[in-house]
Structure 1
Amino acid sequence: MLNSHFKSIQKAFLAKAELAKNRYKDFRYYDIPSYAINGLTPKKGYVLQQNIAFGLKARQRLDLYKSNKPHAKKPLIVFVYGGAWTHGDKSSYKFLGEAFAKEGFDVAIVNYHLAPEYIFPSYVDDISLALNYLQQNAEKLKISTENTMLMGHSAGAFNVMSLMYQAQAYHNFNQAHIKAIFGISGPYHFDYKGDPIAQDAFDQSIPYAEVMPYYFVDKNHVKHYLFLAANDLVVKDQNTLDMHQKLTEVGNHSEIIRIAKTGHKSIIGSVSSLFSRFFSTKSEILKRMNEVLDQS
């Protein structure tokens, strides 16, 4: 009788443990800062539309932060998060949506398919599909896409740069509406073969020179702002330096901005309204965005 009761308790415990495992399987220790920041982020200054479907698959969803502050140029930021292409979710970046929506920018934060189940170029395809959706449904969403700024952090910076520079060009969205790219701590030129962080996100049989956006840069009108964290121990500065050189070689605009007192993860967290007064990240981004808008 007692043994039967113990087995019943054990079974119930294992069932709950499995449920918890499934619920938190995507949780990582480095999510803790995002969860903490989001919990303290103000919920005013914007209207949030969550889980907007831009495709048929489960992860083809975006969150849209529509600013309550009027802006003559009605700019749109499309933000793509990092996570080594294997991890991440738009819900972890409420602080970023709020930080720029309060300044008059509408902000779309985009989910995409993750490795190892999906590898390059599937996650870039998702971002392209999201851009097409936003442009085709701008009137319904009550936004404008004519002054779009692409912004990506880490792997997300690779993704947005790859939208513009790939062997197979993306033509399903209007590139003329892309006014600027803000690449934050981005890996644009590296060999992923055997790389412990990135190897699962790429086909190891394909040489990196056939994938990296560095090799496909061509002349265009887009302003490029490449942000470096002064204490980045994850992505080497050479990625940014190489990309900047290639962009300028073809006559494109490119500017490198180094942010003091930040590391690979903290550089994106420093745009939060809670911390932006202690770091120059947000002010430097806004300065460039407003310059772009003044010229448009």
Structure 2
Amino acid sequence: MQQNLERLKAQLQKQTQIAKSLYRDFRIYDFGSYALNRLTPKQSYSLQANVAYGLKARQRLDLYRSVKLRDSQPLLVFVHGGAWMHGDKKEYAFIGEAFAKEGFNVAVINYHLAPEHIFPSSIDDLTLALNYLNQSQQKLHISAENIVLMGHSAGAFNIMSALYHPQPYVLQSRSSIRAIIGLAGPYHFDYKGDPLCADAFDQTVPYQQVMPYYFLEQNSIKHYLFTADQDNIVGLSNSTDLNEKLLSLGNHSQVIQIPRVGHITMIGSVSSIFSRFFSTKAQIMQALDDALK
């Protein structure tokens, strides 16, 4: 009996290690990020790369300034996913281009990664970046009057946690945040022993003391929770649970399901190369037009 238990335990540990390894390696590159960025047009923006928003090496952002002028030029801040353990802003030039061509200035940020840096390090970085952008408007030639926060997967968790956190952050631009665009975000789950992201959280802290779902508050921000109908990594209940609670508080919230995309391919479908074949970007733009009108 004891031998069987030990054998089962060993098999489970092996499977967990395999799952972690597979996910770490299953980067956005797996569906052509390198080629995607190389093929992305560059006429719609000017790029200021590696802007330091803090003193540490990972505290850098790329700023895509739109050449298309519009009133109170909105600022879209994008946070990448990767289970809090991998990812880099340089992989998301296609995001900068996709929204710069629509008249948005776009900041794509890096943040500290697990397992060396666990929650709330990535949220600390995001709030530092937001405060830097607010303080540096003249220096960077941007406006922070109309801010949109957009994140994919772990990045969606980060943007939500910047607003809904066990110890609320001082966000200088809080009143200027018009919308949150969460793409396939995990907002309400138990990370204990999770094979994909356990290393990103303190396993001695219950998830109820971490997840943004438990710290929601009433405000005027418009929340758009995008889900992928073929997502086999993040469960739909993450978005539906959050949506239900936001609505119960009197907040604006909407769940928008995108057909024919999975958890990873959802973000690639936003690119100018692929957006004509999927509804992701069109639905995001519809949400942004609604939030900024």
Conserved 8 A contact 1:73-1:293: no
Conserved 8 A contact 1:128-1:173: no
SS at match of 1:131: helix
SS at match of 1:277: coil
Q: Within 1, Cα distance between the matches of 2:228 and 2:66? A: 28
Q: Within 2, Cα distance between the matches of 1:70 and 1:245? A: 37
Greater CA deviation, 141-150 or 167-176?
167-176
Q: Within 2, Cα distance between the matches of 1:172 and 1:267? A: 29
Query: Cα distance 1:89–1:29, how it changes in 2: closer, same or farther (>3 A)?
Result: closer
Q: Within 2, Cα distance between the matches of 1:192 and 1:79? A: 24
Conserved 8 A contact 1:112-1:123: yes
Query: Cα distance 1:66–1:29, how it changes in 2: closer, same or farther (>3 A)?
Result: closer
Q: Read off the aligned partner of 1:267 and give its amino acid letter.
A: M
Query: Is the counterpart of residue 207 in structure 1 residue 206 in structure 2?
Result: yes
Q: Read off the aligned partner of 1:279 and give its amino acid letter.
A: F
Alignment of structure 1 residues 116-155 onto 2, 5 Å:
116-155=115-154
SS at match of 1:126: helix
Query: Is the counterpart of residue 31 in structure 1 residue 42 in structure 2?
Result: no
Report what 2:268 is aligned to: 269
Report what 2:14 is aligned to: none
Q: Within 1, Cα distance between the matches of 2:267 and 2:26? A: 17
Alignment of structure 1 residues 89-100 onto 2, 5 Å:
89-100=88-99
Q: Read off the aligned partner of 1:123 and give its amino acid letter.
A: S
How much is the aligned-residue C-alpha RMSD, in angstroms? 1.1
Q: Within 2, Cα distance between the matches of 1:27 and 1:107? A: 27
Report what 1:217 is aligned to: 216
Q: Read off the aligned partner of 2:170 and give its amino acid letter.
A: H
1:73 deviation in Å? Answer: 2.7
Q: Within 1, Cα distance between the matches of 2:34 and 2:251? A: 38
Report what 2:18 is aligned to: none
Q: Within 1, Cα distance between the matches of 2:108 and 2:251? A: 26
SS at match of 2:115: coil
1:35 deviation in Å? Answer: 1.0
Report what 1:110 is aligned to: 109
Query: Is the counterpart of residue 75 in structure 1 residue 74 in structure 2?
Result: yes
Q: Within 2, Cα distance between the matches of 1:269 and 1:162? A: 24
Q: Within 2, Cα distance between the matches of 1:262 and 1:35? A: 20
Deviations 1:63-121 (A, max 9, x none): 00000001113001000000000000000000110010011110000000000000000
1:173 deviation in Å? Answer: 2.4
1:43 deviation in Å? Answer: 1.3
Structure having the higher Rg: 1
Query: Cα distance 1:69–1:146, how it changes in 2: closer, same or farther (>3 A)?
Result: same
Report what 2:17 is aligned to: none
1:29 deviation in Å? Answer: 5.3
Which runs of no fewer than 5 residues in structure 2 stay unpaired?
1-23
SS at match of 1:241: helix
1:290 deviation in Å? Answer: 1.3
SS at match of 1:49: strand
May I ask how many residue pairs the two structures share in their alignment?
269
TM superposition outliers: structure 1 runs of 4+ over 6 Å:
none
Conserved 8 A contact 2:82-2:154: yes
Report what 1:63 is aligned to: 62
1:27 deviation in Å? Answer: 6.8
Q: Within 2, Cα distance between the matches of 1:177 and 1:95? A: 25
Q: Within 2, Cα distance between the matches of 1:151 and 1:30? A: 17
Report what 1:6 is aligned to: none
Report what 1:257 is aligned to: 256
Which runs of no fewer than 5 residues in structure 1 stay unpaired?
1-25
Query: Cα distance 1:289–1:171, how it changes in 2: closer, same or farther (>3 A)?
Result: same
